[in-house]
Amino acid sequence: MERLALVTGGSRGIGRAIAKALRDRGLSVVVASRDPERGRAAARELGAEWRFLDLADAASVAALARTLEGGLDVLVDNAAIALKGFDAKIARATLLVDFLGTMRLTDTLVPRVREGGRIVMVSSGVGSLSSVSSELAKRFLDEAIDRDRLVALTDDFVADVEAGRHAERGWPTSAYGVSKIALNTYTRILARELERDPRRIKVNAACPGWVRTDMGGNAAPRSPDEGAKTPVWLALLPDDGPTGGFFRDEKPIPW
Ligand code: NAP
Protein backbone atom coordinates (compact mmCIF):
# COMPACT_ATOMS: atom_id res chain seq x y z
CA MET A 1 0.00 0.00 0.00
CA GLU A 2 1.22 3.49 -0.87
CA ARG A 3 2.58 5.40 2.14
CA LEU A 4 1.50 9.03 2.38
CA ALA A 5 3.32 11.88 4.11
CA LEU A 6 2.11 15.42 4.80
CA VAL A 7 4.88 18.00 5.20
CA THR A 8 3.66 21.42 6.35
CA GLY A 9 5.77 24.28 5.04
CA GLY A 10 7.11 21.91 2.38
CA SER A 11 7.33 24.63 -0.27
CA ARG A 12 10.78 25.90 0.74
CA GLY A 13 13.59 25.61 3.24
CA ILE A 14 13.87 22.59 5.52
CA GLY A 15 10.33 21.40 4.77
CA ARG A 16 11.09 21.19 1.08
CA ALA A 17 14.24 19.15 1.80
CA ILE A 18 12.23 16.83 4.07
CA ALA A 19 9.58 16.40 1.36
CA LYS A 20 12.27 15.58 -1.22
CA ALA A 21 13.94 13.01 1.04
CA LEU A 22 10.60 11.30 1.73
CA ARG A 23 9.80 11.24 -2.02
CA ASP A 24 13.24 9.71 -2.65
CA ARG A 25 12.32 6.98 -0.13
CA GLY A 26 9.21 6.16 -2.19
CA LEU A 27 6.51 7.89 -0.13
CA SER A 28 3.74 9.91 -1.73
CA VAL A 29 4.06 13.44 -0.41
CA VAL A 30 1.63 16.29 0.10
CA VAL A 31 3.21 19.67 0.85
CA ALA A 32 1.04 22.36 2.42
CA SER A 33 1.71 26.08 2.68
CA ARG A 34 0.14 29.50 2.06
CA ASP A 35 1.65 30.86 -1.16
CA PRO A 36 0.01 28.91 -4.04
CA GLU A 37 2.52 29.86 -6.72
CA ARG A 38 5.57 28.83 -4.70
CA GLY A 39 3.78 25.78 -3.31
CA ARG A 40 2.66 24.50 -6.71
CA ALA A 41 6.10 25.10 -8.27
CA ALA A 42 7.84 23.22 -5.44
CA ALA A 43 5.37 20.34 -5.62
CA ARG A 44 5.85 20.05 -9.39
CA GLU A 45 9.64 19.83 -8.97
CA LEU A 46 9.35 17.36 -6.08
CA GLY A 47 6.78 15.09 -7.72
CA ALA A 48 4.50 15.90 -4.78
CA GLU A 49 1.05 17.43 -4.42
CA TRP A 50 0.48 20.91 -3.01
CA ARG A 51 -2.43 21.94 -0.82
CA PHE A 52 -3.26 25.28 0.75
CA LEU A 53 -2.72 25.63 4.49
CA ASP A 54 -2.67 28.66 6.74
CA LEU A 55 -2.02 27.39 10.24
CA ALA A 56 -3.40 30.64 11.66
CA ASP A 57 -6.82 29.89 10.17
CA ALA A 58 -8.93 27.09 11.70
CA ALA A 59 -11.09 26.78 8.55
CA SER A 60 -7.99 26.19 6.43
CA VAL A 61 -6.74 23.52 8.84
CA ALA A 62 -10.13 21.78 8.69
CA ALA A 63 -10.23 22.00 4.89
CA LEU A 64 -6.79 20.40 4.55
CA ALA A 65 -7.73 17.65 7.02
CA ARG A 66 -10.85 16.85 4.93
CA THR A 67 -8.61 16.10 1.94
CA LEU A 68 -6.76 13.49 4.03
CA GLU A 69 -9.75 11.44 5.13
CA GLY A 70 -8.28 8.39 3.41
CA GLY A 71 -5.46 8.37 6.00
CA LEU A 72 -1.78 9.20 6.21
CA ASP A 73 1.37 7.53 7.51
CA VAL A 74 3.71 10.43 8.24
CA LEU A 75 2.94 13.93 9.48
CA VAL A 76 5.84 16.39 9.58
CA ASP A 77 4.81 19.56 11.42
CA ASN A 78 7.50 21.77 9.93
CA ALA A 79 5.81 25.09 9.04
CA ALA A 80 6.56 27.98 11.36
CA ILE A 81 7.20 31.71 11.44
CA ALA A 82 9.83 33.75 13.30
CA LEU A 83 8.65 37.35 13.27
CA LYS A 84 10.89 40.34 13.85
CA GLY A 85 10.35 42.41 16.99
CA PHE A 86 8.85 41.56 20.35
CA ASP A 87 5.52 42.62 21.82
CA ALA A 88 2.21 41.00 22.81
CA LYS A 89 0.88 41.18 19.23
CA ILE A 90 3.92 39.35 17.89
CA ALA A 91 3.72 36.83 20.74
CA ARG A 92 0.07 36.09 19.91
CA ALA A 93 0.71 35.80 16.14
CA THR A 94 3.72 33.52 16.64
CA LEU A 95 1.97 31.22 19.11
CA LEU A 96 -1.05 31.01 16.79
CA VAL A 97 0.99 29.54 13.92
CA ASP A 98 3.91 27.75 15.56
CA PHE A 99 2.03 26.20 18.48
CA LEU A 100 -1.79 26.50 18.43
CA GLY A 101 -2.26 26.00 14.68
CA THR A 102 0.20 23.12 14.61
CA MET A 103 -1.54 21.48 17.59
CA ARG A 104 -4.96 21.98 15.97
CA LEU A 105 -3.81 20.43 12.69
CA THR A 106 -2.15 17.50 14.45
CA ASP A 107 -5.09 16.79 16.76
CA THR A 108 -7.41 16.84 13.73
CA LEU A 109 -5.20 14.43 11.79
CA VAL A 110 -4.27 11.97 14.57
CA PRO A 111 -7.46 9.91 14.07
CA ARG A 112 -6.44 9.49 10.40
CA VAL A 113 -2.87 8.37 11.06
CA ARG A 114 -2.50 4.73 10.07
CA GLU A 115 -0.92 1.91 12.04
CA GLY A 116 2.84 2.41 12.42
CA GLY A 117 2.47 6.15 11.72
CA ARG A 118 5.09 8.75 12.61
CA ILE A 119 4.54 12.34 13.74
CA VAL A 120 7.50 14.72 13.73
CA MET A 121 7.53 18.23 15.17
CA VAL A 122 10.25 20.38 13.65
CA SER A 123 11.19 22.37 16.73
CA SER A 124 14.32 24.27 17.74
CA GLY A 125 17.01 24.35 20.40
CA VAL A 126 15.81 27.94 20.92
CA GLY A 127 12.82 26.27 22.61
CA SER A 128 15.02 24.84 25.35
CA LEU A 129 13.62 24.95 28.88
CA SER A 130 16.98 26.37 29.99
CA SER A 131 15.68 29.72 28.66
CA VAL A 132 12.87 29.94 31.27
CA SER A 133 12.97 30.10 35.08
CA SER A 134 13.18 26.79 36.93
CA GLU A 135 9.67 27.41 38.27
CA LEU A 136 8.27 27.71 34.73
CA ALA A 137 10.34 24.75 33.52
CA LYS A 138 8.77 22.64 36.29
CA ARG A 139 5.29 23.62 35.12
CA PHE A 140 6.05 22.71 31.49
CA LEU A 141 7.61 19.39 32.54
CA ASP A 142 4.76 18.45 34.91
CA GLU A 143 3.68 14.92 33.91
CA ALA A 144 0.06 15.91 34.53
CA ILE A 145 0.09 18.86 32.12
CA ASP A 146 -2.66 18.72 29.49
CA ARG A 147 -3.59 20.89 26.50
CA ASP A 148 -5.72 23.32 28.55
CA ARG A 149 -2.99 23.93 31.11
CA LEU A 150 -0.40 24.29 28.36
CA VAL A 151 -2.49 26.87 26.51
CA ALA A 152 -3.09 28.69 29.82
CA LEU A 153 0.68 28.87 30.35
CA THR A 154 1.20 30.43 26.92
CA ASP A 155 -1.67 32.86 27.67
CA ASP A 156 0.22 33.83 30.85
CA PHE A 157 3.28 34.54 28.67
CA VAL A 158 1.30 36.86 26.38
CA ALA A 159 -0.29 38.62 29.38
CA ASP A 160 3.13 39.05 30.99
CA VAL A 161 4.55 40.49 27.75
CA GLU A 162 1.58 42.85 27.51
CA ALA A 163 2.12 44.00 31.12
CA GLY A 164 5.89 44.46 30.58
CA ARG A 165 6.77 41.88 33.24
CA HIS A 166 7.72 38.80 31.18
CA ALA A 167 11.41 38.87 32.23
CA GLU A 168 10.66 39.16 35.94
CA ARG A 169 8.17 36.26 35.57
CA GLY A 170 10.95 34.08 34.12
CA TRP A 171 10.15 34.18 30.38
CA PRO A 172 12.71 34.74 27.57
CA THR A 173 12.35 37.72 25.22
CA SER A 174 11.43 35.39 22.35
CA ALA A 175 7.90 34.56 21.23
CA TYR A 176 9.40 32.00 18.83
CA GLY A 177 11.28 30.32 21.69
CA VAL A 178 8.16 30.10 23.88
CA SER A 179 6.18 28.70 20.91
CA LYS A 180 8.75 25.92 20.50
CA ILE A 181 8.72 25.20 24.26
CA ALA A 182 4.94 24.82 23.96
CA LEU A 183 5.31 22.65 20.84
CA ASN A 184 7.78 20.39 22.66
CA THR A 185 5.39 20.10 25.62
CA TYR A 186 2.59 19.17 23.23
CA THR A 187 4.91 16.53 21.71
CA ARG A 188 5.23 14.91 25.16
CA ILE A 189 1.47 15.11 25.82
CA LEU A 190 0.63 13.49 22.48
CA ALA A 191 3.32 10.81 22.75
CA ARG A 192 2.02 9.91 26.22
CA GLU A 193 -1.57 9.63 24.92
CA LEU A 194 -0.52 7.51 21.95
CA GLU A 195 1.52 5.08 24.06
CA ARG A 196 -1.76 3.26 24.77
CA ASP A 197 -2.95 3.41 21.15
CA PRO A 198 -2.90 0.09 19.25
CA ARG A 199 -1.66 1.86 16.10
CA ARG A 200 1.88 2.12 17.59
CA ILE A 201 2.33 5.72 16.43
CA LYS A 202 5.55 7.48 17.42
CA VAL A 203 5.73 11.22 18.13
CA ASN A 204 9.05 13.05 18.41
CA ALA A 205 10.50 16.55 18.11
CA ALA A 206 13.63 17.51 16.17
CA CYS A 207 15.99 20.46 16.18
CA PRO A 208 17.43 20.80 12.64
CA GLY A 209 20.34 22.99 13.78
CA TRP A 210 20.95 26.42 12.26
CA VAL A 211 20.03 26.12 8.58
CA ARG A 212 20.39 28.38 5.49
CA THR A 213 16.76 29.20 4.68
CA ASP A 214 14.59 32.33 4.51
CA MET A 215 14.20 31.95 8.28
CA GLY A 216 17.77 30.96 9.15
CA GLY A 217 19.52 33.43 6.79
CA ASN A 218 22.64 33.05 4.63
CA ALA A 219 25.18 32.83 7.45
CA ALA A 220 23.83 29.53 8.82
CA PRO A 221 26.30 26.64 8.58
CA ARG A 222 23.86 23.90 7.52
CA SER A 223 22.20 23.27 4.18
CA PRO A 224 18.46 22.47 4.10
CA ASP A 225 19.34 18.82 3.29
CA GLU A 226 21.52 18.66 6.41
CA GLY A 227 18.74 20.25 8.47
CA ALA A 228 16.26 17.71 7.12
CA LYS A 229 18.27 14.67 8.24
CA THR A 230 16.98 14.25 11.80
CA PRO A 231 13.32 15.02 10.94
CA VAL A 232 13.51 12.47 8.08
CA TRP A 233 15.13 9.89 10.40
CA LEU A 234 12.24 10.40 12.88
CA ALA A 235 9.66 10.19 10.06
CA LEU A 236 11.01 6.77 9.03
CA LEU A 237 11.81 5.29 12.47
CA PRO A 238 11.60 1.52 12.78
CA ASP A 239 9.14 -0.05 15.26
CA ASP A 240 11.78 -0.26 17.99
CA GLY A 241 12.62 3.45 17.64
CA PRO A 242 11.99 6.07 20.34
CA THR A 243 8.84 8.06 21.03
CA GLY A 244 8.27 11.22 23.07
CA GLY A 245 11.84 12.48 22.62
CA PHE A 246 13.69 15.56 21.35
CA PHE A 247 16.59 14.98 18.93
CA ARG A 248 19.36 16.80 17.12
CA ASP A 249 21.75 14.97 14.79
CA GLU A 250 19.80 11.77 15.56
CA LYS A 251 20.76 11.99 19.26
CA PRO A 252 18.54 12.87 22.24
CA ILE A 253 18.86 16.41 23.59
CA PRO A 254 17.38 17.85 26.79
CA TRP A 255 14.02 19.59 26.71
P1 NAP B 1 11.24 28.97 6.08
O2 NAP B 1 12.32 28.87 5.08
O3 NAP B 1 10.80 30.33 6.54
O4 NAP B 1 9.96 28.16 5.52
C5 NAP B 1 8.78 28.15 6.27
C6 NAP B 1 7.74 27.30 5.54
O7 NAP B 1 6.52 27.35 6.32
C8 NAP B 1 7.37 27.80 4.15
O9 NAP B 1 7.05 26.70 3.34
C10 NAP B 1 6.15 28.66 4.41
O11 NAP B 1 5.40 28.79 3.22
C12 NAP B 1 5.44 27.86 5.52
N13 NAP B 1 4.56 28.65 6.37
C14 NAP B 1 4.88 29.80 7.04
N15 NAP B 1 3.80 30.24 7.71
C16 NAP B 1 2.79 29.35 7.48
C17 NAP B 1 1.44 29.26 7.89
N18 NAP B 1 0.86 30.24 8.63
N19 NAP B 1 0.69 28.22 7.49
C20 NAP B 1 1.25 27.26 6.70
N21 NAP B 1 2.52 27.29 6.27
C22 NAP B 1 3.28 28.33 6.65
O23 NAP B 1 11.60 28.18 7.41
P24 NAP B 1 12.71 27.02 7.68
O25 NAP B 1 13.95 27.68 8.10
O26 NAP B 1 12.71 26.04 6.56
O27 NAP B 1 12.09 26.36 8.99
C28 NAP B 1 11.38 25.14 8.97
C29 NAP B 1 11.22 24.67 10.42
O30 NAP B 1 12.51 24.51 11.03
C31 NAP B 1 10.46 25.66 11.31
O32 NAP B 1 9.65 24.96 12.20
C33 NAP B 1 11.56 26.37 12.06
O34 NAP B 1 11.12 26.89 13.29
C35 NAP B 1 12.55 25.22 12.25
N36 NAP B 1 13.94 25.67 12.51
C37 NAP B 1 14.63 26.35 11.57
C38 NAP B 1 15.95 26.72 11.84
C39 NAP B 1 16.80 27.44 10.82
O40 NAP B 1 17.96 27.75 11.13
N41 NAP B 1 16.31 27.70 9.61
C42 NAP B 1 16.54 26.42 13.08
C43 NAP B 1 15.79 25.73 14.02
C44 NAP B 1 14.49 25.34 13.72
P45 NAP B 1 4.36 30.02 3.00
O46 NAP B 1 5.06 31.26 3.48
O47 NAP B 1 4.03 30.02 1.56
O48 NAP B 1 3.17 29.67 3.84
Q: How many angstroms separate the Cα of 2 from the Cα of each of 32, 46, 160?
A: 19, 17, 48
Q: Give me ligand 1 centre to Cα 53, in Å.
A: 13
Q: What is the pLDDT of residue 32?
A: 98
Q: Is the pLDDT of residue 45 over 90?
A: yes
pLDDT in tens, 186-227: 999 999 999 999 999 999 999 999 999 999 999 999 999 999
Please report the atom of ligand 1 found closest to the CA of residue 56: 18
What's the pTM value of the predicted model, to 2 decimals? 0.98
pLDDT recorded at residue 57 = 98
Instruction: Give the per-residue pLDDT at 210.
Output: 98
Q: If you take atom 45 of ligand 1, which residue's CA is the nearest one? A: 34
> Residue 22: is its pLDDT beyond 80?
yes
Per-position b or e across 191-208, b if 16+ CB within 10 A of its CB: beebeeeeeebbbbbbbb
- pLDDT given for residue 1 in this prediction: 77
Is the shortest distance between the CB of 34 and ligand 1 below 6 Å? yes
176 is catalytic: yes
Does position 168 have pLDDT exceeding 80, yes or no? yes
**What value does the mean pLDDT of the chain take?**
98
Instruction: Determine which one of 50, 99, 157, 176 is catalytic.
Output: 176
112 CA to centre of ligand 1 in angstroms: 24
The finding on whether 105 has its CB within 6 A of some atom of ligand 1 is no
Over 80: is that where the pLDDT of 245 sits? yes
pLDDT band at 251 (very low <50, low <70, confident <90, very high): very high
Mean pLDDT of 226-250: 98
User: From residue 31, how far is each of 67, 95, 171 by CA, in Å?
Assistant: 12, 22, 34
Closest Cα to atom 12 of ligand 1: 9
Pocket probe for ligand 1: among 33, 37, 253, the residue whose CB has the most ligand atoms within 8 Å is 33
What pLDDT score does 23 carry?
98
Residue 14 CB–ligand 1 contact under 6 Å: yes
210 lines ligand 1 (CB under 6 A): yes
Distance 244 CA to ligand 1 centre (A): 22
Answer whether 60 contacts ligand 1 (Cβ < 6 A). Answer: no
Q: Model confidence over 55-100: pLDDT tens digits?
A: 999 999 999 999 999 999 999 999 999 999 999 999 999 999 999 9
Residue pLDDT, tens place only, 3-20: 999 999 999 999 999 999
Three-state SS letters, the chain: CCCEEEEECCCCHHHHHHHHHHHHCCCEEEEEECCHHHHHHHHHHHCCEEEECCCCCHHHHHHHHHCCCCCEEEEEECCCCCCCCCCHHHHHHHHHHHHHHHHHHHHHHHHHEEEEEEEEEECCHHHCHHHCCHHHHHHHHCCCCCHHHHHHHHHHHHHHHHCCCCCCCCCCCCHHHHHHHHHHHHHHHHHHHHCCCCCCCEEEEECCCCECCCCCCCCCCECHHHHHHHHHHHHCCCCCCCCCCEEECCEECCC
What is the number of alpha carbons within 13 Å of residue 242 lying toward its C-beta?
Answer: 17
Indicate if ligand 1 lies below 6 Å from the C-beta of 211: yes
Give yes or no for residue 6 CB within 6 A of ligand 1: no
- pLDDT score of 126: 96
Sign of the CA dihedral with 21 first, then 27, 28, and 32 last = negative
